[in-house]
Amino acid sequence: MTDTNCQPTNLLGLDLDGLVALCQELGEKRFRATQLFRWIHQRGEADFAQMTDLAKSLRSKLAGVAEVTAPPVLSEHESRDGTIKWLFDMGGGNAIETVYIPESDRGTLCISSQAGCAVGCRFCSTGHQGFSRNLSSAEIVAQLWYAEHFLRRRSGRAERVISNVVMMGMGEPLQNYRQLVPSLRIMLDDHAYGLSRRRVTVSTSGVVPLIDRLAQDCPVALAVSLHAPDDALRDHLVPLNRKHPIDELLAACTAYLAHAPRDFLTFEYCMLDGVNDRPEQARALVQLVRRHEPAGLRCKFNLIPFNPFPASGLQRSSDAAIGAFARILSNAGLVTTVRKTRGDDIDAACGQLVGEVQDRTHAGQRMAERRAAMQHHRGGAARRAPKIRMIP
Ligand code: SAH
Ligand code: SF4
């Protein structure tokens, strides 16, 4: 269970089965794992010495081989609307972001799954930064552990603050599948956070084979980043589409519904001025859904006003264009919402999460070169991505 280089195992990344295996290795009974699990996730305790109902011998054994630790917080910014953004230091020059969004009836945490992202969507600042590495399950869960217990301490509440998790921070969660699944299990486990499957959402740009596996391994709510009604445009906006085109993606979505905690899934659609926001594109989207409905596709649309960053060279659609697009979808009977932008003043909105990424695959560099070449053609100057702003 411990690493070969004798690094302590970070227990934040072990689901209950993993903790049971660790306890067995240490010659301890199964129920000890449950006790430990509750201390860590429900009470937020990191110090084994404080876990008073565990035998002293177990506490000292644990202290030798294990730890409970979150990555250091580099900064914390709070927006005027109550949204909080943390920047965590992942070592090696990488930093990732986590965002808490309070609403009257829920508290949502937006979690990162990778340092950077290799998919490279045109409109996403994480994609523009390239890819460094997958986060471990401990690093994924640490975001929830830290935020939940920080918020409880701050508000003086003993009960749960975070009711919803969305895997919509930096990274493509399904490209980090092995670490994702135990992380989801910890979020769902009644001895840990006890979140409902309906309130844990994996958002994906469309890694088709792993949508199928998630349905078997840990079906939670699914959001799929569609962004275009046809393959030609989606190939351009979401490069993964060249591998898994729209019809294949929608077939996987339909199959997922048989296992999903809800009877519909959400399509996210980032509204880009003059690119994917025309009325005929809304009508094409309706036709696309109609073609898949007989097979059982049930969906709703979430239109996301594009959060611009200079290096993208793209603009947000006008409110009028978003309204007209939404009306075409709703008039066709498709439930459609327009996402409210939260934490705008601290760059905490979708696609503005930039952290710091050591671009080991040079994906970001290749995108920047292509962009520079296009700008050269147009006679424009390359501009820098925005930095995180401090609020006064
Ligand atoms: N990789 C996953 C999850 C992280 S991105 C995915 O792509 O689904 C979370 C959501 O933010 C996705 O729907 C993505 O398309 C959207 N997004 C990315 N950049 C954006 C931007 N600049 N403005 C608005 N939404 C953006
Ligand atoms: Fe990656 Fe999602 Fe950004 Fe695309 S939108 S680059 S998949 S994080």
pLDDT at 349 exceeding the cut of 70: no
Rounded to the nearest whole angstrom, what is the distance from the C-alpha of residue 100 to the centroid of ligand 2? 19
Ligand 2 midpoint to CA 381 (Å):
25
Complete domains list, the chain, with CATH: 9-67 (1.10.150.530), 73-376 (3.20.20.70)
Quick check: 188 and 194 in contact, CB under 8 A?
A: yes
268 is catalytic: no
Rounded CA-CA distance 352/357 in Å is 14
Amino acid at 112: S
pLDDT value, residue 342: 74
pLDDT at 216 over 60: yes
The pLDDT value recorded for residue 134 is 98
Q: Locate 311 and state its tokens.
A: 């290096």
What is residue 353's predicted lDDT score, i.e. its pLDDT? 60
What tokens does 367 get? Answer: 């995108």
Is the Cβ atom of 117 under 6 angstroms away from ligand 2?
yes
First to last CA, the chain: 46
Q: Residue 376: its pLDDT value, please?
A: 46
CB 109, CB 100: distance < 8 Å: yes
3-state helix, strand, coil in the chain (%, to 5): 40, 20, 40
- CA of 203 from ligand 2 middle (Å) equals 10
Kindly name the residue from 121, 124, 270, 350 that is annotated as catalytic: 350
pLDDT cut 70: percent of the chain above it: 88
Question: Chain-wide mean pLDDT for the chain?
Answer: 90
User: For the ranges 7-16, 141-150, 360-369, which has the lowest average pLDDT?
Assistant: 360-369
Strands (E), 234-342: 265-271, 299-305, 336-338
Ligand nearest to the CA of 202: 1
304 lines ligand 1 (CB under 6 A): yes
The response to whether residue 249 sits with its C-beta less than 6 Å from ligand 2 reads no
Ligand 1 proximity of 336 Cβ (cutoff 6 Å): no
For residues 134 and 216, what is the distance between their CA atoms, to the nearest angstrom? Answer: 22
HSE, side-chain direction, 13 A CA sphere, residue 212:
8
Among 69-73, 99-103, 380-384, 387-391, name the one with the lowest average pLDDT: 387-391
Between 306 and 378, residue with greater pLDDT = 306
Q: Above 60 in pLDDT, residue 59?
A: yes
- Nearest-CA residue for atom 8 of ligand 1: 204
Residue 35 parent element (H or E) = helix 30-41
In tens, the pLDDT along 162-176 reads 999 999 999 999 999
Position 343 scores a pLDDT of 73
By percentage, how much of the chain surpasses pLDDT 90? 81
Over residues 309-328, the mean pLDDT reads 96
Helix axes 16-25, 177-188, angle to 10 degrees: 90
Kindly report which listed range (210-224, 319-333, 336-350) carries the lowest average pLDDT score.
336-350
The closest-lying atom of ligand 2 relative to the alpha carbon of residue 118 is 1
In sequence order, what are the beta bridge partners of 165? 109, 200
**350: annotated active-site residue:** yes
Top-confidence residue, 365 or 229: 229
| Tokens encoding 302 | 């979430």
Q: Cα of 302 to ligand 1 centre, how many Å?
A: 12
Does the CB atom of residue 301 touch ligand 1 within 6 A?
Answer: no
For ligand 1, the distance from its centroid to the CA atom of residue 351, given in whole angstroms, is 5
pLDDT tens figures, 13-58 = 999 999 999 999 999 999 999 999 999 999 999 999 999 999 999 9
Give pLDDT, residue 1.
Answer: 46
Beta-carbon-side half-sphere exposure of residue 126 (alpha carbons within 13 Å):
29
Protein residue closest via CA to atom 24 of ligand 1:
306
Pick the range with the lowest mean pLDDT from 127-131, 256-260, 281-285, 334-338.
127-131
Q: What is the mean pLDDT of residues 328-340?
A: 95
Burial of 11 (0-12, 13-18, 19+ CB in 10 A): buried
Q: How confident is the model at residue 367 (pLDDT cuts 50, 70, 90)?
A: low
pLDDT at 130: 92
Q: Which of 94, 101, 91, 92 is nearest to 69 (CA)?
A: 91
Closest Cα to atom 8 of ligand 2: 171
What is the structure's pLDDT at 351? 59
Catalytic pick among 28, 97, 139, 148: 97
Is 381 a residue whose pLDDT tops 50?
no
